[in-house]
Chains A and B, each alone.
Chain A
C-alpha cells in the first residue's frame, strides 16, 4: 500500500511539474492520471497492490468533496441574492448535459454490443 501511494503521489508530482513547466491550464493531477493511464497501457496493467489501493481510495471518493463543499457557508449572501439563476442554471444545465451526452453517444454507437 505504501508503494502504491508513493507511486500515485509521484505521478501527481510529475503531472504538477509538467503543468507548471508548460504553463498548461490543465491541473497536475489530471495530467498525472493521463501519465499513469499511458504507463499502464504500455506495461500491461497495474500491480495487485496498486489496484487494491486505488479501489480503497476511490471507494470513498465522495468523502474527499466534503471539505470544499462546506465552503458554501462563505457564499450564503451571494446565493441568497442570486438563488433563482443559480438553481435554475445548475439543475437545467446538468440535466440537459446528461441527456445530450447520452443521446449523442447512443446515436453514434448504435447497439455496438461488446462481447466482454
Chain B
C-alpha cells in the first residue's frame, strides 16, 4: 500500500499538473486569508501564496524546476495580461491627455529615484556587484526587469524575486505613505504606486479604485519603457562612480 502511494507521488510530483494545481490552490487560499483580514495590505495574496508554496516545496524536497514546469502556464499569462493593461489605460484617455506633461516629469523623477536610490543604499551597505545590478531594475514589472538585469550583468532570477518583494513592500506601505505626504488624488496615488511597485502595486491600486488602478497601470507601462531605455546607459557610470569594481 505504502509502496503504491509512493509510486503515485513520484509520478504526480514530476508532472506539470501538480505545480499548476498547487499554484491555483495556494493563491485562492491566500485570497481567502486576505478577505478574512479585511483586505489588510500585510495579508498580501502574493506574499502568502509564495510563502506557502516555498514551505511546501521544501517539505517535500521538490526542486523549483519541477514546480515551474507546471506553474509556467500561469507565468505565461503575464504576457497577455500586460497587453490587456491597454484597456483600463484607454478608459483614462481624457485624463491622460490633460495630465501628459506633469505625468512625464513625475515619471522621470520616480524612475531615476527608484533605480538610483536602490543602488546607492545597497552599495553603501556593502551589497555585491551582482546584487546591485539585480536591484537596479527592481521597480519595473518582472519580465522587463529580468531582461534589464541580464543586460547589466545581474542575475535575472534574483531580480524576479527582488521585483516581487518591491511590489509587496509598495502594496503594503502605500496607504501609510499617502497619509504621510497627504496625497488624496486617486490619479496621483495610482501613478506613484505604479512607478514604484509595478504590477503588484497595480493589483493593489485596482483594489483601491478603478482610476487608481488605471493610473498605476499607466505608470507601470511607462516606467518599464523608460527604465529599459535609460538603465543600460546610466548604470555603468553610476557603478564606476560608486567605486564598486
Contacts and interface: CB of A to CB of B under 8 A. Distances in A.
A63 B74 contact: yes
A105 B167 contact: no
A90 B192 contact: no
Given A58-B88, A99-B180, A66 B74 contact: yes
B128 interface: yes
B170 to A, nearest CB: 5
Interface residues of B, number: 112
A67 interface: yes
B141 to A, nearest CB: 8
Interface string B186-205: 00110111011101101100
Contacts of A45: 90
A22 to B, nearest CB: 13
A29 B192 contact: no
A64 interface: yes
16 contacts: A28-B79, A29-B80, A30-B144, A46-B90, A57-B81, A58-B206, A63-B49, A70-B68, A74-B64, A75-B157, A75-B158, A78-B158, A85-B125, A98-B177, A101-B109, A112-B98
A27 B147 contact: yes
**Main DSSP-derived SS at the B contact region:** helix
Interface in B116-170: 117-119, 121-128, 131, 135, 138-139, 141-144, 147-148, 151, 155, 157-158, 160-167, 169-170
Given A69-B50, A78-B158, A64 B135 contact: no
Given A57-B80, A65-B167, A37 B229 contact: no
A102 interface: yes
B130 to A, nearest CB: 8
Given A74-B64, A96-B113, 11 more contacts: A8-B80, A11-B86, A25-B229, A58-B81, A62-B200, A74-B157, A90-B135, A92-B121, A95-B169, A97-B139, A103-B183
B85 interface: yes
A45 B86 CA distance: 10
